[in-house]
Every structure is written in C-alpha cells, then in structure tokens.
Structure 1
Amino acid sequence: MYYSEYETEPREKRMKRKWKGVKDVLYAAAEHSGEFRDRLKALGACPNDFKDFADYGRIPPLRKRDIIGMQEEHGLAWFLDREPGQLSRIYQSPGPIFDPEGTEPDYWAWSEGFFAAGFRPGDLAQMTFSYHMTPAGLMLEEPLRDIGCAVIPAGPGNTEKQIEFLTQLPVTAFVGMASYLKVIGQKAEGAGYDLKNDFRLEKAYVAAEPLPESLRSEVETMFGITVRQGYGTADVGCIAYECMELGGMHLSNYRHVEICDPATGEPLADGETGEVVVTPFFTDYPLVRLATGDLSSIDAGQCACGRTARKLTGWKGRADDTAKVKGQFIYPVQAAGVMGKYPDVANWQIRVKNPGGRDVLVVLLEIETEIDEKVFAADFQAIMKLNPVVETVAPGTIPADAPRLVDERTFD
C-alpha cells in the first residue's frame, strides 16, 4: 500500500514533475526573495537561464549560517512572497533562525514517510518532539492527523509521565528519538513493567539523530516493535524516509535533493558522497538549493517495496562546523554569545559524545575562578536549547587553535 501515486511513478516522469516544481520555486524566488535576487545578481543570471537540472546545479547553494545573518539584517519578510501574518506559523530554531510555515496541506511532506513506516488510521501516536518554539512537534503531528491517527502531544522529557501514557492508554505508535525510547524502556523495566505485555506499542517513527543499526535492533527487541526513521530539517521538512524494506531512505517526492561537492556546490554522481542540498517546493518561502551541511550519497537501485524514488544511504557526518544534537543544531558562533556573559572564561570548547548511544553535550571552560555551573548551564540552555554537562579546566588545557566544536560520537 502507498500513500500517494507519486511513490510508484516512473523515474523519468518523476524528474519531469520535479523540474516543474523547481521552476516554480525559481520564479517565485526571483520575484519575491531579496536573498535569491542577490544570488542571481552575483551570478549575472535570470531564471530563464536555467533550462534543466544541469543548469540549476550552477546556482551557488544557500547555507543556513548565511540565512541567520540575513534574517538578522533584513528581517524574515525579505525572504517571503507574503506578509508574515499570512503564514500558518513561524517557529524559531537554534541559530537563531526563523522557520516559516505556509498554509498548504501536508506542508512539511511527512505523510508519505509515516505511511511507509506502517502508520494507519486509528493508530494512537505518542509525540515526544517539542512543541515549544521549534517546529518538530507540530510538523510531525499534522501528517499523523492527515493519515487518521490520534496524537498525544506529550513533548520531550518527563519520562515517568511518558510511561504512564504508554501503559494506561492504548498507544500503538511512538514518535521521537530512538535514544529516548530506549531510555523510556529502561526506566519502565526498572519500575517493574513488562515492555511487551504492559505496553501496546507496535511501531516507532524516529528522527533528529543518527540511527545506528545496533540501536534500532536494541529498541526493536526491547519492545517487540518495528522502528523506521525519517530525515529532514526545520527549514524544509521531510527530505527522505525509510520503508519496510530498509536499505536507505527514499527521497521525498516533494523536494529536489542533490548530493553536491561541499566546496563547490556542484552536483555529484549517484554513489558519490557529498553534501545534501535540498530545494523544497515552497513558493511562499522559496529556498533555492539549501545546503544542509549533512553528508550522504544516493543509491539509484530499485527497492523491493515498489517505490521508485532513489534512496539516501544514510547520514555520513557533517560538512560544516556545526553538529546536530537531539534534533537541535549547535552553532559555535551562537555559543560564543553565551560565553560573552562570562568574562572570566579564558577559553572554551564544546564536545559532543554518545556513551551508550545517548548524546551528551559537554562544555569545557578554562577558568581560574569558581563558576556557578548550574547558572551557566541554564544560560546555555536558554540560548542553545540543550542542557550541557559543564566541566571546568585550568587555563592552557585547551589548545589556542583548537576547534570550538568537536563531535566525538561514533555510530557503529
């Protein structure tokens, strides 16, 4: 079973349809987006100069760090084809960056992915992504409602309450991070629950972090469920999703996805590893060739599920100086704003680890005097949306030329 006819259309037909979507974005951006007009001007081009995907690949990608500065300088409306009050919602993600949401049905295009993961009308889904400022909770709730599922807007944290919902209500589906579902399972087992008899879970849809096969297998075995993942961002929504056959994530039918050379932005051939660059088919907030910073490759093989879209082969690291932790991006420049409140900090570094498969954010502070670590952690969390482990070290411990952000995670 498929959610839409696009999932099984011939590839040649799909690419013709996607080229029409890309052209609509091109013309909308050229008319309404100050950002894209500036890019075209620097390129010495107009929309009519781009006749096919090869031409399109000559447009320099747009990077999120540039959007942050442009939004600060020009305001959100500089990017839009309408007044902000005519949108559906406006979120804010770390950066900070505003994420507009238009009014079209299934705007973020997650419905196909949920359906491919086995979500059906009548499922009761427990949503553990945040509903506060960032788009994840509502972004993933609305497609569930479109399918015909009911949703418990649990949000993140408060694990005891999560267990209460899962045991007292007929919850059949979990939506959130696989690492958090593992934590829920471990705490429930510690409280004496039998996860296969006291819970009614059948499936989980996970996102916002890498999913190593070891973690998938552990959670599936723990609960006796299937776990499938989706891949997307707060800017563009769904980029790709897994089906029951696994072996990669099918590219969304509602975005044009390229794998590009991180240095030049030029598209690479299928099978080569490069940066994921996405054009969502938005015309209210037209984003032309948005560079995600994530590395992957494309598998052009046929899938046994019958879906004809090519697949991303999985997350293979970052191409820039950011890291994604628990669904939130860490920008060193934003962290520097927090450090500016503490003049006694001589140097600092952020380290991301995942002991036991659970992400931990460690902030090292070089400082001679004492610091209230709880106050610092609260200030950091208020800006970065993540609660750090704070460690103080003696001045000179962190090399002067050391990177501000070090991702030490492994995903075996």
Structure 2
Amino acid sequence: MAPADLFGASDLARLPVTTKDQLLALQRAHPPFGGFLAADARDIRRIFVSPGPIYEPELSSDVTGRGFAQVFSQAGIGPGDRVLNTWSYHLVPAGLLLDRGIASTGATTIPCGPGGAEQQAQLILELGITCICASTSFFITLIETLERMGCQLPRDWRVRSAMLGGEMGNWMQKRRDLEQRYAINTFSAYATGDFGLIGYEQDGLEGYRIHHERLVQVCDPGSGEPLPVGSTGEIVVTTLESGWPLVRFGTGDVAQALSQTEDGLVDRIGLLQGRVGQGVKVREVFVYPRNIEDLLSRVPEINRAQLVVETLGRRETMTLRAELNPKGTPAIVEAHLMDAFKQVTRLKLDNIEWLVVGQLADGDPTLVDRKQAKA
C-alpha cells in the first residue's frame, strides 16, 4: 500500500500494527533508527535510550517536550512556579521532556532526577517549590521524609500541585486522599518514550484527552482491528510529526476507549488496564488484572480477590475467589459484587467462591487462565 492509497483516518486500519519488538529488530538490522528517521542527522539534539535498547531521536525543533507543554499549561503551571522534577535525566526521555515542557510555560525547573529524598525534601522547603513531578510512590516518600524532619504539612511548604506517575491498584483514590490531606491538586498524563505525550487530564473528565498531534485507535490485540467506544484493547498511535513519524505503532498498553471523533479516532481513553499479554479473553472480551483491582476499590468488604477463567463444556466461565473481611456478610455483599463486576468488565460473573482472610497470598495472581488446561 502506498501513501496515495490513504484518504483519511479511517484508512489507517488497513495498515498493519508495528510492535515494539519489530521496531527493535529494524533498529538492529538498520542502526540506529531502523529507517524511521525523517530528518537530517545534524538536526538531532539528543538520542534517548529506552529499554531494549530502543533509540529515539529528539530534534532541535522540539520546543514543547514532545507535547508536555500541554500538560503543564493545562494544570496552570507558569511564571512564578518552581517545579521539582524527580524523573530521570539519564538515557531515558522522561526527565528532559518534562523539563522542556515546564520551561515552555515560563516556570522554573529544579532538575533533580530520582533518589536522595532527604536532599530533595530540603530543596522543597528552602527553594519554595510549588509543584513536584514524581512517581506516586516517590512523592509519598518525600512527604514522609518532610514529616520525619518535623514539618507540619501543608502549613510548612508552598507546594500546591503535583504531577504524579500512574500506578496499578486504586490509584485515583490514593490521589484524592493526598489532595485532601495536603491541600494540593494532582494531575497526570499518558506518555511513552516513542511518542512523548499521548494524552493529558482535563478537569472534570475521566481518563486522558488525546493530544491533537496524535492519531489514536484502541485495537484488538490480536487482529489490530479498531474497537468501538467502551471496548478495551491495545493503544495504537500514529504521529506524522516532523523527523520521527510512526504509523500504527502498538504501544503495548491496554486501555478503554471512552469517546471518539467523527472520523472514528479515539479522543479520550481511560486509565491503563495493563499490558498486552496480561489479559485473558473471555466471551470475546478481554479481562485484565486492573479490572480486579478496580473491583476491590468498589467493594470494600473484600480484602483480596482472584478471578479464575475456565472452560466448562463449550462455555467459558468465571469464578471470583474472594476474601471477605470480618465485617462483611456474603448474602449482603454478593449482589453488589456481581453488579460491580459487570460494570468493570461488561461481563456477567458466573460464580463466587468465598475465602477466609489469608487464603490468598501476597504473590498470588489476580487473574488465572485455566481455559487451555480444560479445553
């Protein structure tokens, strides 16, 4: 197929999805960029090295940090702000792309990278930091460090916002708790080393709004076919930006399409559900470990749970093995649990196996596929 055969966004589905493994193989065969570079080598400002290793060029023409300016301006960061950036500046793109996005707003950056919580806690106080960029876990480490130093938060700092990295589990509730306790606003983004920013948060809207320079589809991980709104699949991105265009590139990340544009492209996605390969297909719908984590956040009477998928005759069945805390009563919790399961998976749960607390260990998987064993 030639470029002249493509007339619109809907034609993208006629092209195959390129995977990270394929990009890695092409870069090994045709180093260093695998034939994807569409710029003069003299225009490359930096070369980032992501796990693989995969090489990603940053061009001198980039003034937004591959779109991260949108994230910070959307969050109200600007002149007068002092932003502590704890993301790595070593090899990977995260620290430097955020740095450039912060600078584009007129704010001041303190480029720390990860680690050294005691020193960074001191900087927060002495430099009057107003925004912190960090993984959620390291942000909490900084808070705990400050409190051990005797700080009374939020009284003793000037921090009013934090850009936090996403994590599995009930992450949104963790953010709300941090906001309420420390009088801050939190914000986040969805980005990869290949593209930079893909989506950003908007006040009052669930999930991530897609950046206007990214063409996004949520596709069936097997066939690559685009899926309708409400479906969960692999995030496939196309960007025609100068210098490093990627067409129908599979990120390997899995999320739900929340809304689409008139031409069928996704313009908002939900939180990441996991990675391709972690899901189990049940009655033509993929279920992911995050679905079970979301379920636990909706049904607080359950401490832990494990979903077991099996084949019974010709039918795929799902049994939820759930630890009920001492305050819960099976008869009362069951109806709520069945309804919540349908909300997070769009599937009907077949059975519930009630367990006593402690039957599921910390390392036990939340999702078990036994279809092949009984097929």
Separation in 2, partners of 1:262, 1:288 = 16
- The percent identity for this pair of structures is 32
2:66 corresponds to which of 87, 108, 114: 108
Q: CA deviation at 1:158?
A: 0.4
Alignment of 1:157-306 (within 5 A): 157-207=115-165, 209-210=167-168, 212-300=171-259
Paired residue secondary structure (1:75)? coil
Greater RCO between the two (CA within 8 Å, min separation 6)?
A: 1
Using a 3 Å threshold, how does the CA distance of structure 1 residues 74 and 280 change in structure 2: closer, same or farther?
same
Separation in 1, partners of 2:220, 2:256 = 11
Deviations 1:18-41 (A, max 9, x none): xxxxxxxxxxxxxxxxxxxxxxxx
Separation in 1, partners of 2:364, 2:256 = 21
Establish whether residue 56 from structure 1 lines up as the match of residue 12 from structure 2.
yes
Alignment of 1:38-77 (within 5 A): 45-77=1-33
RMSD: 2.4
Separation in 2, partners of 1:123, 1:140 = 14
Please tell me the residue identity of whatever aligns with 1:67. Answer: L
Paired residue secondary structure (1:80)? coil
Separation in 1, partners of 2:114, 2:215 = 31
Establish whether residue 130 from structure 1 lines up as the match of residue 88 from structure 2.
yes
Specify the alignment match of 2:334 in structure 1. none
Separation in 2, partners of 1:296, 1:281 = 23
Specify the alignment match of 1:8 in structure 2. none
Whether the 8 Å CA contact 1:181–1:219 is kept in 2: the answer is no
Separation in 2, partners of 1:135, 1:261 = 28
Separation in 2, partners of 1:178, 1:216 = 8
Separation in 2, partners of 1:106, 1:312 = 22
Separation in 2, partners of 1:276, 1:117 = 24
Separation in 2, partners of 1:255, 1:409 = 33
Paired residue secondary structure (2:132)? strand
Separation in 1, partners of 2:166, 2:28 = 26
Deviations 1:383-407 (A, max 9, x none): xxxxxxxxxxxxxxxxxxxxxxx99
Paired residue secondary structure (2:231)? coil
Paired residue secondary structure (1:79)? coil
Alignment of 1:73-84 (within 5 A): 73-77=29-33, 78-84=35-41
Establish whether residue 314 from structure 1 lines up as the match of residue 271 from structure 2.
yes
Deviations 1:259-309 (A, max 9, x none): 11111111111221111011123231221111111111222289xxxxxx9
Whether the 8 Å CA contact 2:19–2:250 is kept in 1: the answer is yes
Please tell me the residue identity of whatever aligns with 2:117. Answer: T
Separation in 2, partners of 1:147, 1:266 = 38
Please tell me the residue identity of whatever aligns with 2:37. Answer: L
Whether the 8 Å CA contact 1:174–1:201 is kept in 2: the answer is yes
Paired residue secondary structure (1:288)? strand
Separation in 2, partners of 1:284, 1:208 = 29
Q: CA deviation at 1:90?
A: 0.5
Paired residue secondary structure (2:98)? helix
Using a 3 Å threshold, how does the CA distance of structure 1 residues 301 and 93 change in structure 2: closer, same or farther?
closer
Specify the alignment match of 2:337 in structure 1. none
Using a 3 Å threshold, how does the CA distance of structure 1 residues 124 and 71 change in structure 2: closer, same or farther?
same
Q: Compare 293-302 and 216-225 and name the one that shifted more.
A: 293-302
Using a 3 Å threshold, how does the CA distance of structure 1 residues 200 and 407 change in structure 2: closer, same or farther?
farther
Separation in 2, partners of 1:88, 1:239 = 21
Q: CA deviation at 1:124?
A: 0.6
Separation in 1, partners of 2:174, 2:199 = 20
Aligned residues: 278
Using a 3 Å threshold, how does the CA distance of structure 1 residues 149 and 107 change in structure 2: closer, same or farther?
closer
Q: CA deviation at 1:214?
A: 2.5
Q: CA deviation at 1:251?
A: 0.9
Q: CA deviation at 1:226?
A: 0.6
Q: CA deviation at 1:222?
A: 3.7
Gaps of 5+ in 1: 1-44, 303-308, 323-405
Q: CA deviation at 1:190?
A: 2.0
Gaps of 5+ in 2: 280-362, 368-375
Q: CA deviation at 1:208?
A: 5.5
Separation in 1, partners of 2:248, 2:179 = 36
Q: CA deviation at 1:232?
A: 0.5
Separation in 2, partners of 1:175, 1:216 = 14
* Higher normalized strand content (fraction of residues): 2
Q: CA deviation at 1:107?
A: 4.9
